[in-house]
Amino acid sequence: MLKVGIIGATAYTSLELIKILLRHPEVKITYLGVRRTDRPKISDIFPALKGLLDLPCETIEQKEIPGNIDLAFITLPPTISMQYVPLFTGKGIKVIDFSADYRFRDKSLYEKWYKAQHTDSKGIETAVYGLPELFREQIKKTNLVGNPGCYTTATILALAPLLLKGLIFSEDIIVDAKSGVSGRGREPKEDTHYCECNENIEAYSVGGHRHSPEIEHILSIKTHQKVSIQFVPHLIPMNRGILCTIYAKPKAGVYGRSSLHDDDVHKLYKEFYGKEPFVRIKEGNEMPKTKDVIFTNFCDIATKVTENRIIILSVIDNLIKGASGQAVQNMNVMCGFDEKMGLL
Amino acid sequence: MLKVGIIGATAYTSLELIKILLRHPEVKITYLGVRRTDRPKISDIFPALKGLLDLPCETIEQKEIPGNIDLAFITLPPTISMQYVPLFTGKGIKVIDFSADYRFRDKSLYEKWYKAQHTDSKGIETAVYGLPELFREQIKKTNLVGNPGCYTTATILALAPLLLKGLIFSEDIIVDAKSGVSGRGREPKEDTHYCECNENIEAYSVGGHRHSPEIEHILSIKTHQKVSIQFVPHLIPMNRGILCTIYAKPKAGVYGRSSLHDDDVHKLYKEFYGKEPFVRIKEGNEMPKTKDVIFTNFCDIATKVTENRIIILSVIDNLIKGASGQAVQNMNVMCGFDEKMGLL
Amino acid sequence: MLKVGIIGATAYTSLELIKILLRHPEVKITYLGVRRTDRPKISDIFPALKGLLDLPCETIEQKEIPGNIDLAFITLPPTISMQYVPLFTGKGIKVIDFSADYRFRDKSLYEKWYKAQHTDSKGIETAVYGLPELFREQIKKTNLVGNPGCYTTATILALAPLLLKGLIFSEDIIVDAKSGVSGRGREPKEDTHYCECNENIEAYSVGGHRHSPEIEHILSIKTHQKVSIQFVPHLIPMNRGILCTIYAKPKAGVYGRSSLHDDDVHKLYKEFYGKEPFVRIKEGNEMPKTKDVIFTNFCDIATKVTENRIIILSVIDNLIKGASGQAVQNMNVMCGFDEKMGLL
Amino acid sequence: MLKVGIIGATAYTSLELIKILLRHPEVKITYLGVRRTDRPKISDIFPALKGLLDLPCETIEQKEIPGNIDLAFITLPPTISMQYVPLFTGKGIKVIDFSADYRFRDKSLYEKWYKAQHTDSKGIETAVYGLPELFREQIKKTNLVGNPGCYTTATILALAPLLLKGLIFSEDIIVDAKSGVSGRGREPKEDTHYCECNENIEAYSVGGHRHSPEIEHILSIKTHQKVSIQFVPHLIPMNRGILCTIYAKPKAGVYGRSSLHDDDVHKLYKEFYGKEPFVRIKEGNEMPKTKDVIFTNFCDIATKVTENRIIILSVIDNLIKGASGQAVQNMNVMCGFDEKMGLL
């Protein structure tokens, strides 16, 4: 049994992570660390866990590393996370980090967007981006994974096949993203108040969301071209789920045709993701719905070629495939377990 | 034109109050007071008001009373409100207070439930309870109204006809109340976070909600008997609206019959509220729905006699008939305007 | 591996049932029957199942019983179900029926409330009521289980300890129940339209809901006294979850005390359900929340003694502990599997 | 007093229309026509209207035109509406039609998208498109208005200033639209079922929504260039409200500058809509929220220039500015009333 710890146990993603790990046959949760809390047991913080996991939460202020864990999930906020990660990796403990601190290959890009000096140069250099569909082989060999952002996962999976084949203009892409409120975190703020979110939709961070450079950075590296997107996220009155509606411009045809056709693109996606356990391509005119993927690790994708555009729609659960499910998928890959274990 | 001020302008009830007053043909809002804010104009706090009311919010820390108002709506929290009300009444300005500070005739009862000494003895003695359907004549003559609580309004209107006629046991009444989240106020807290309220229902303050003694107190005074209720409020995932489901035990019949019949009770309610502009009695088996009264000053009521009980259901908008609409109704009564003015 | 079939596969409960069974290590779904459909595969009806279960749906109009199943879950509506059940039981196939057709020991009571003649007398006589917490030993030995209603499960579990000990008046009980919209079924009707349910709460079937006699019937049988309840269900704007707020009158004390005390009742419930895997008793003043039990088979219960009443609050997921999870729990008991298998 | 009738009184838009007209000081509702109903009074169909309007609904099968009306609002579906409109216009009764039947200047375009022959050639030729902000002078003189679609209103108001000034490429525009469920109408269907819409977001009619040609048609006529948009609507779990997020490519600068700047665009919009009573331009980085415009006739707009795009966001209430409020605004213009009458 793999002994795992969760550092930052009070986040929404941690609750989902615990639920998944409790179903995982090869894992035992042995440690829960928090920065501060007035409720000593995890089941006091999340009553849903009563009778399932009644572990105490230990404060990690002293930065003493617990001795009984083989792998740590770090669910701390960006810029905080990098203060803890090296303590674990330094002792040979595998780490899957949920923050942005280990998602960039380019330290200066991170520092520009997160407005902080990165204090773990070695970590950021060696970490692997934890999107198994694109980086599986590297994940197998690493001890440190930077777990992708939620918008990022939905967008990259939607765009990768077209960009890798060079079928769209890589600098003329619009990503109109919609997310449930859990994406905003658990801290009570004016903009997470029920009456402010319910019966309302609004855009936020227009032209400046931090997932935008992450998407461009990873896609540029992976597809060897400059990728530039126009990203606008919106807050939707629902707990969880992300839908990305992506508008790209066709550049070339595929399968021997001079222009892009609906069925060619569909075939391309079916082939590209044919062996992936967690990516499903919609058939016919069916559109992906967040309700079909919430509480699962699936990403559902549909494509549609119109007169001037190709539209790609992708949905995930922001807390599962966009965070905790993907982290467990990464753990499975890193530890040699069946990649689907605990996730179906 | 009546010049009115609102003290405590950042509450949800204040937004609703402003919207109503803007439609009122005999009123002009001349002053907005707040305890503190970093947003100087009311339309910065509530962008919905942009172009409708762009008045600045003045801080009221100095407790200087503005000179240009004839009537003040005080929407401050309980125990704070009584610090301001005498400043206004002392200058002959009419006051409608939204807090609990002027709802009790019995100072010690207030002090027990609100855990504070009442500092305005004269005020609490002379104030009138602002439920026009039961206290219209007193409201006409007063300068100080204690505007009722939201649960209180829905419950008292539902029970008054039966209790006044002596048809139910006054100490064996159960009030199961359900409220939208705006009843919890605008302050961001864990229990008003969208993800905590959405897809959830829970009871709160079981056996100890402050509206319970208010209901018992007012009904006891009005119906000249000891009224005792078991009150349990619940939080419902919707913005606004209250439904009270009330279970009482029949004691006697009416209209010459020895026991209570469905059609007798219906007739009684139709007669009792026949001339009331804002109380509607449902016909047949139709049940009241909050969606039919939200954004209005109506209270819809249905009754149903079963084998052992009489069930009364009442719905209101907690922010309108349960607060701001009722306040304007009181203002209309106090100032001699048509009682419906601005409210239809 | 136990081969199971689902007859009536297009219901919301069937979707949940399939999801649970797919995780169950001892079960294989081998047959899906529907009365009629234009979508041949279950994953066309429920796209969430794509890649998980792509079985075809067979029409069951001919009433030919499939040969490849050991146990059938029947999720057909009441009065329809009893037309199919005997076909299965007659061939020695175990049956768990979701309708009301096999929940009553008293045929005439069924016929009165469901306004239909019961055509399977033998079935209704031999069926066992599928609430494992109260009827586990009988369930172990039967081939035919009448799976309880959702309101019924939440209410009976909440009341059983007090009634069995004789601590409350069994004919003076009020059950104020609140349910998410999935309890209304999948058929599109005016009262399940999004805009009619959202931002609304209303009572329905006041004084005449069919779960009312079911609750009284089962509790009377189990506790050997006449149990009579006043039951009022309400529709809540959420997908799933039930909260029952129950008001009873204390009759006697327990643990040697003359009257009922909060901590005694708490202790009683802890003892009564101490070994139950799916009933959790809340501690202190914590109230049960539907969000803590949805997507689980748990029933969370809290109790509170007030001046004149004892209030019991219980929550379940109407589709899981109120239907499909309970059915799998019953299957586990009937087939000798670990009772929790597939359910945690 | 203007005597008005509503033909098609059972639509959601009709309920909103009635509520607005009841507040309008110059109007009296004298006739309600329906195609069929089993509920004889409008307050039986919409209990919210009880005590406010208890008019009977007359069936209009016979197509007899009521004698007592000066102006008719027709809220019938497309292709049905044109069967009734000429009956009214033929008698000199002013008509405001809510369907698409009178929104196109080009009969063949209508017939292509609505798959029906247009039977009122004279009507479609003389009708005026009812968007007062762009066609006020024509509306003043006409007797027949085609009231715009909801998505159309939000999109055209957002794009008009840039297109009229020639500042963006008119054939490279993306409109990502999000609408509450009331936009789908009142008929119960699988995709308006509460449990299908709640906790879900999905795109629909991708590449083929009927508002797309309406937007292109009207903008092309008004701005004298070929306008071509990529339009994708989404269904959001809320009752009402539309947000359009529009992505356009800058072509030229304004106010003497060679490229487009944020503050120039803001100034342009402030000037363009400076005198409009129902269009509000957001300041600074504030984004429009549907919650600020629902239940009002306002359209709130923000603009943001990014590296490669100009993003325009606009919000309206689909039932008010997107239907009934706009219809009343049109009525006010047609009849010489203050344009804001009944709408603030």
- Is B234 an interface residue toward C (CB < 8 Å)? yes
* Partner residue facing D199 (CB), from B23, B199, B280: B199
Interface mutation vs chain D, best among B16, B19, B50, most D CBs within 10 Å: B50
- Is A296 an interface residue toward D (CB < 8 Å)? no
Q: Chain A partners of B11 at a C-beta cutoff of 8 Å?
A: none
The tens digit of pLDDT for each residue in B141-166 reads 999 999 999 999 999 999 999 999 99
Comparing CA positions, the residue from B277, B269, B203 lying closest to residue B236 is: B203
Helix (H) or strand (E) holding B146: strand B144-146
- Is B252 an interface residue toward D (CB < 8 Å)? no
CB interface of B with C, residues 174-193, below 8 Å: 174, 176, 178, 180
Q: Which CATH architecture has domain A2-148+322-335?
A: 3-Layer(aba) Sandwich (3.40)
CA-to-CA distance for B341 and A278, rounded, in angstroms?
60
SS3 B110: helix
State chain D's mean pLDDT as an integer.
95
Q: pLDDT value at position B207?
A: 82
Helix (H) or strand (E) holding B7: strand B2-7
Comparing CA positions, the residue from B150, B169, B166 lying closest to residue B209 is: B150
Q: pLDDT value at position B62?
A: 67
Catalytic residue among A57, A150, A197, A299: A150
Q: Which two tokens stand for residue C225?
A: 């006294």
CA-to-CA distance for A141 and A137, rounded, in angstroms?
7
Q: pLDDT value at position B60?
A: 84
Residues of chain A with pLDDT under 50: none
Phi, psi of A3 (to 5 degrees): -90, 120
Q: pLDDT value at position B114?
A: 95
- Is A12 an interface residue toward B (CB < 8 Å)? yes
**D149 residue type, one letter:** G
Beta strands in chain C (DSSP E): 2-7, 27-34, 58-59, 71-74, 94-97, 128-129, 144-146, 173-179, 202-203, 229-235, 242-248, 279-281, 299-305, 310-316
DSSP-assigned states of every residue in A43-105: HHH-GGGTTT--PBPEE-TT-PPPSS-SEEEE-PPTTTHHHHHHHHHTTT-EEEE-SGGGS-S
C-alpha B189: how far from its chain's center? 23
pLDDT of chain D, 344 residues: tens digit per residue: 999 999 999 999 999 999 999 999 999 999 999 988 777 899 999 999 999 998 999 988 766 788 889 999 999 999 999 999 999 999 999 999 999 999 999 999 999 999 999 999 999 999 999 999 999 999 999 999 999 999 999 999 999 999 999 999 999 999 999 999 999 999 999 999 999 999 999 999 998 889 999 999 999 999 999 999 999 999 999 999 999 999 999 998 889 999 999 999 999 999 999 999 999 999 989 999 999 999 999 999 999 999 889 999 999 999 999 999 999 999 999 999 999 999 99
Q: How many Cα atoms sit within 13 Å of D215 on the Cβ side?
A: 31
CA-to-CA distance for A126 and A124, rounded, in angstroms?
6
Q: Chain D partners of C186 at a C-beta cutoff of 8 Å?
A: 193, 195
Under DSSP, the state recorded for C314 is E
* Region at C3 (left for phi over 0; alpha for psi -120 to 50; beta for the rest): beta
Comparing CA positions, the residue from C194, C156, C160 lying closest to residue C175 is: C156
* C198/D239 CB distance under 8 A: yes
Comparing CA positions, the residue from C151, A203, D108, D176 lying closest to residue C159 is: C151
SS3 C196: helix
DSSP-assigned states of every residue in D212-229: HHHHHHHHHHHHTS---E
Q: Chain B partners of A196 at a C-beta cutoff of 8 Å?
A: 194
Residues of chain C with CATH 3.30.360.10: 151-317
The tens digit of pLDDT for each residue in B189-222 reads 999 999 999 999 999 999 888 999 999 999 999 9
CB D298 within 8 A of CB D321: yes
- Is C46 an interface residue toward D (CB < 8 Å)? no
Place of tokens 């309708």: C99
Neighbours of chain C (3+ CB pairs under 8 A): A, B, D
Pairing of strands B299-305, B279-281: parallel
Q: pLDDT value at position D292?
A: 98
SS3 D146: strand
SS3 B216: helix
**Chain D residue with minimal CA distance to A240?**
D199
* C290/B198 CB distance under 8 A: no
Q: Chain C partners of D181 at a C-beta cutoff of 8 Å?
A: 194-195, 198
Helices (H), C115-149: 121-126, 132-141
* Partner residue facing C245 (CB), from B176, B196, B288: B176
* Partner residue facing B189 (CB), from A181, A188, A238: A188
* Region at C149 (left for phi over 0; alpha for psi -120 to 50; beta for the rest): beta
Q: pLDDT value at position C208?
A: 85
**Chain C residue with minimal CA distance to D190?**
C188
* A199/D311 CB distance under 8 A: no
First-to-last alpha carbon distance for chain B, in angstroms, is 19
CB D223 within 8 A of CB D293: no
State chain B's mean pLDDT as an integer.
95
* D193/C195 CB distance under 8 A: no
CB interface of B with C, residues 258-287, below 8 Å: 285, 287
CA-to-CA distance for A173 and A162, rounded, in angstroms?
12
Angle B275-B278-B279 from CA coordinates, rounded to 5°: 75
Phi, psi of C232 (to 5 degrees): -130, 110
Name beta bridge partners: C178.
Answer: C234, C243
CB atoms within 10 A of CB A226: 10
* Partner residue facing C202 (CB), from B287, B307, B308: B287
Taking the complete model, does pTM exceed 0.95, yes or no?
Answer: yes
Phi, psi of A89 (to 5 degrees): -60, -35
C-alpha B111: how far from its chain's center? 20
B236: distance to nearest CA of chain D, Å? Answer: 15
* A51/C298 CB distance under 8 A: yes
* A308/D232 CB distance under 8 A: no
**Chain D residue with minimal CA distance to A228?**
D308
Answer whether residue B66 shows pLDDT above 90. Answer: no
| Mean pLDDT, each 10-residue run in order, chain C (344 residues) | 95 96 97 85 95 91 82 96 95 97 96 96 96 98 97 98 97 98 92 97 92 96 97 98 98 91 96 98 95 98 95 98 98 98 96
Phi, psi of D225 (to 5 degrees): -160, 165
Phi, psi of B281 (to 5 degrees): -100, 125
Length of chain B: 344
Q: Which residues, 6+ apart, have CB-to-CB distance to B271 below 8 Å?
A: none
CB D234 within 8 A of CB D202: yes
- Is B38 an interface residue toward A (CB < 8 Å)? no
Domain B151-317 sits in CATH 2.60.40.1760: no
- Is C296 an interface residue toward B (CB < 8 Å)? no
Q: pLDDT value at position A237?
A: 98
Comparing CA positions, the residue from D245, D241, D243, D244 lying closest to residue D180 is: D241
Comparing CA positions, the residue from B99, B78, B81, B116 lying closest to residue B152 is: B99
CA-to-CA distance for B33 and A96, rounded, in angstroms?
51
Q: Which two tokens stand for residue A249?
A: 């411009």
Q: Chain B partners of A194 at a C-beta cutoff of 8 Å?
A: 181, 192-194, 196-198, 237, 239
Q: Which two tokens stand for residue D303?
A: 């603009």
SS3 A229: strand
SS3 B274: coil
Catalytic residue among D150, D197, D244, D299: D150
Q: pLDDT value at position B38?
A: 74
* A198/B12 CB distance under 8 A: no
Q: Which two tokens stand for residue A110?
A: 């991170």
Q: Chain D partners of C181 at a C-beta cutoff of 8 Å?
A: 194-195, 198
Q: pLDDT value at position A61?
A: 74
Q: Chain C partners of A292 at a C-beta cutoff of 8 Å?
A: 46-48, 50
- Is C159 an interface residue toward A (CB < 8 Å)? no
B99: distance to nearest CA of chain A, Å? Answer: 21
B–D interface: beta-carbon pairs under 8 A: 37
C39: distance to nearest CA of chain D, Å? Answer: 14
For the beta sheet containing B2-7, the strands, ordered from the edge strand earlier in sequence to the opposite edge, are: B58-59, B27-34, B2-7, B71-74, B94-97, B144-146, B128-129
- Is B291 an interface residue toward C (CB < 8 Å)? yes
CA-to-CA distance for A333 and A22, rounded, in angstroms?
18
Reply yes or no on whether D244 is catalytic.
Answer: no
CA-to-CA distance for A335 and A341, rounded, in angstroms?
11
Q: pLDDT value at position D64?
A: 78
**Chain B residue with minimal CA distance to D275?**
B51
What sign has the CA pseudo-torsion C218, C219, C225, C228? negative
Q: Chain A partners of D228 at a C-beta cutoff of 8 Å?
A: 307-308
Helix (H) or strand (E) holding A329: helix A325-335
Cα torsion C327, C331, C337, C339 to 10°: value is 30
Helix (H) or strand (E) holding D86: helix D81-89
